[in-house]
Amino acid sequence: MMNTGNNRAIYAVIIAITVIAVALFCAVVMTVPNSTENLKLSDIIDEQIISVSEWTYDGEKLGNVEKIVVHYVANAGSSAQANRDYFNNLAKTHETNGASAHFVIGLDGEIIQCVPLDCVAWANGNYESNRHSISIECCHPDESGKFNDKTTASLRTLLRLLCEKYSLTEDDIIRHYDVTGKMCPVYYVKHENEWNELKKGILTE
C-alpha cells in the first residue's frame, strides 16, 4: 500500500511544476509580441505617463506625424523603468534643460509609454522634428549600443504598429543621427547596414 504522505508530496511537486511551466509560457508570450497578427498598441505597452513640467514636456499638441525617431539610452545595462523614472524625476532634479520620449523599450522587450501620443516629446534636439515625430528610446546591454534580440523584436513590433497608425513607411523610420548628426543610436550610426536590416520587412510581418 502506497504511503499517503508520499502521494501528497508527489502531487505537490506536480502542481508546482505545472504552475512554473504556465508562468514561463506566459512570460515567453509577453516578450514576443510581434507573433500576434491582430495586435494593437494597447496590447503591448505599459502606460506610465510622466509629469508635465518645464523639464520633461509641456503638453504641446503634436502636429502631423511624419517620422518615427529611434534613439538609444546611452546608459548601458539600465532598464526601461529606470529611464522612464529618470525622465519623470527631471521635474525635481533639473539635470537637463528638458528631455522625454514617447516610449522606452527595455532589455526584456518591455515597452513603457512615457508621453501621450498626441503630445510633443522633447527627444530629438530639434523643435520642428519633435513637433512631427514619435520618439522611441531603446535600452542596450553594453557600451556598444547594440540592441539585444528582445529589445529589437519589441522595437520592430512597435514600429510596425506606429507605421500602420500614421500611414508611414520604412523610409519614415529614422535615427536621432538623421535629425541632428548626434551619434545616436551609436551602434546603428556606425553600422549603417545593420540599421537597414533592423527596419527591413517591418510592414510585411
Tell me the pLDDT tens digit for each residue of 81-123: 999 999 999 999 998 889 999 999 999 999 999 999 999 999 9
CA atoms within 13 A on the CB side of 192: 2
Cβ–Cβ under 8 Å, residues 124 and 177: no
Per-residue pLDDT of 140-164, as tens digits, reads: 999 999 999 999 999 999 999 999 9
Query: What's the CA gap between 16 and 194, in Å, rounded?
Result: 43
| Per-residue DSSP letter, 88 | H
Please give the single-letter amino acid code of residue 126: N
Strand partners, 47: 113
**Of the candidates 155, 161, 148, 141, the residue with the CA atom closest to the CA atom of residue 43:** 161
Angle, helix 4-31 to helix 149-166, in steps of 10 degrees: 50
pTM score: 0.82
